[in-house]
Amino acid sequence: MTTPTNERHSSLGFGNLWAVVMSAEKPKNTSESVLLHPLDTAAAPEPELLCIFGTGDLGRSLGQRLLQSGYRVVYGSRRPTSCGPLPQGTQVMSHAAAAQSASVVFVCVHRENYEFLETLAPQLRGKVLVDVSNNLKKNLYPEANAEYLQRLIPGAQVVKAFNTLSAWALQNGPSDANRQVFLCGNSAEANQAVAKTATKLGFTVLDRGSLSAARELEDFPLQLFPEWRLPLRVAVGLIAALFFYVLIRDVIYAKVELGKDISFRIMVSLANKVFPIVSLIMLSLCYLPGVIAAFLQLYRGTKYKRFPDWLDRWMLCRKQLGLVALGLAFLHVLYTLIIPIRYYVKFRIAASTVLQMKENQTKEFNTVWAWQGDSFYSTGILGFGMFLLLGITSLPSVTNALSWREFNFIQSKLGYLTVFLCTFHTYLYGWNKFLRPSSYKWNTPPAFMLSLVLPTVVMVLKLLLLLPCVDRRLTRIRQGWERTDPKDDSRKSLLA
């Protein structure tokens, strides 16, 4: 099959190229170029030849991948004779000779060393130059590296690509987490040539348009968990605030009012109060923006108006909010499982048994308490199970395997069910504590009550949205229906 790129290459003429390579073998040219591994020229059609400038980490890894994917590779180096080990089967030459031999040149050199390319402008005219470079910091230079390269060699077609992959990832080939190659460039033809190579290497190509997108691509590898920042800050803030709240209500209250030192409880009891509370609050924070958005659409009577920025940002980090909440719920499970082996608990059980024996009495079995305890654990287990399911289906590999309807069913319907189960679990924990005056130490509500506010609000709002008349209206709006302004209508009729 002859693709346009192949045609371009054949018009370059590999015969001439091999004349260049073979002549490099002659003693007079050894300083210019070295053939590491002579290729069998009698073989059927020659594979495409690509050029790499720079024999560093990335250059070597890229060369290796290209060879494995059926390309021939020629390196351009400052020191063709002493550049260290290169993948078997590649040649290395001077920059000028290497540039002339291929139509695509990967520039695997740091931006700081680009100046030498200017002297190669004549040899690089009309070539596709792939800029793979990254910077150490954002906004280090006034223009993107790829734009700088284009300015140095206006006659070439610069394509920004591969910079989001590490040398390691390139060498090992694409994995699920590292499958995408972003590229951008001003020439559609050049973009396509690079995209073809990336696809042949096994990557998925995402074309981000013209070279003006290069800065964005160069910023990608410098990002530090941008979408995790807000959820983690929320988690740390809530954990700190609630820890102080329970510390004051439990430990300090016991010391001040009862003269008892229960500070040992900080390690397990307090942790096992704070983590589930923050988890439940964060779970409801995943579902609150969706409900707010629905009410906003109902109020505005259209879905075509942009949401406020804060709501947009909030909605975009729901997955991370949910995963942090899941992590905290998992800690809650672990802390709960170790309760029976705690010294304090074993001591209390033994003490109560001994007391019953001493006083020769037996505690009656309380069926209501049994119901309460079992329902409490059961809703907790079911809620956590659902929560795990939500977490698993948010993994990209699983999400990709689900249809939109399946994803929506799990994340929305089962999501609200999870909120319900976890909230109900907490209400069951509260049980008779809501009405007991001794629960309100120093006139403050217990911490678990604070965790119930948001999920209860979410569930009440969601129930309102499920009312048939509201649901019908929202569905119409989401299908594109818009409420016409009565004032506009009256003006129109006046004009008529």
Ligand X SMILES: NC(=O)C1=CN([C@@H]2O[C@H](COP(=O)(O)OP(=O)(O)OC[C@H]3O[C@@H](n4cnc5c(N)ncnc54)[C@H](OP(=O)(O)O)[C@@H]3O)[C@@H](O)[C@H]2O)C=CC1
Concatenating the DSSP letter of every residue in 399-457 gives HHHS-HHHHHIIIIIIHHHHHHHHHHHHHHHHGGGTT-GGGSGGG---HHHHHHHHHHH
Does 167 interact with ligand X (rule: CB under 6 A)?
Answer: yes
Residue nearest to ligand X (CB): 56
Task: Give the range of 19-27, 39-47, 109-117, 427-435 binding ligand X by CB under 6 A.
Answer: 109-117
Minimum distance from residue 78 beta carbon to ligand X (Å)? 4
Find out whether 255 and 424 touch, Cβ atoms under 8 Å: no
Three-class SS of 241-288 = HHHHHHHHHHHHHHHHHHCCCCHHHHCCCCHHHHHHHHHHHHHHHHHH
29 residue type, one letter:
N
Does 78 interact with ligand X (rule: CB under 6 A)?
Answer: yes
Among residues 93, 108, 217, 251, the one that binds ligand X under rule CB under 6 A? 108
Does 441 interact with ligand X (rule: CB under 6 A)?
Answer: no
What's the burial of 479, exposed, middle or buried (CB within 10 Å: 0-12/13-18/19+)? exposed
Taking residues 444 to 463 in sequence order and writing x for each that binds ligand X by CB under 6 A, - otherwise, the string is --------------------
Give the C-alpha separation, 46 to 238, whole Å: 63
Minimum distance from residue 415 beta carbon to Cu ion (Å)? 18
Residues in contact with ligand X, total (CB under 6 A)?
22
Minimum distance from residue 165 beta carbon to ligand X (Å)? 6
The item of ligand X, Cu ion, none sharing an interface with residue 55, based on CB under 5 to 8 Å by kind, is: ligand X
Does 47 interact with ligand X (rule: CB under 6 A)?
Answer: no
Among residues 26, 37, 79, 233, the one that binds ligand X under rule CB under 6 A? 79
Does 58 interact with ligand X (rule: CB under 6 A)?
Answer: yes
Among residues 19, 36, 116, 313, the one that binds ligand X under rule CB under 6 A? 116
The three-point CA angle 22-123-127 to 5° equals 100
The smaller minimum CB distance to ligand X, of residues 170 and 421, is found at 170
The item of ligand X, Cu ion, none sharing an interface with residue 133, based on CB under 5 to 8 Å by kind, is: ligand X
Give the C-alpha separation, 339 to 451, whole Å: 22
The three-point CA angle 64-69-73 to 5° equals 50
> Which residue, chain included where needed, has tokens 């690079």?
194
Find out whether 74 and 21 touch, Cβ atoms under 8 Å: yes
Taking residues 339 to 378 in sequence order and writing x for each that binds Cu ion by CB under 5 A, - otherwise, the string is ----------------------------------------
Among residues 83, 247, 333, 414, the one that binds ligand X under rule CB under 6 A? 83
Closest CA to 329 of 256, 398, 382: 382
Q: Which residues bind ligand X (CB under 6 A)?
A: 54-59, 77-79, 83, 108-111, 113, 116, 132-134, 163, 166-167
Q: Which residues bind Cu ion (CB under 5 A)?
A: 276, 380
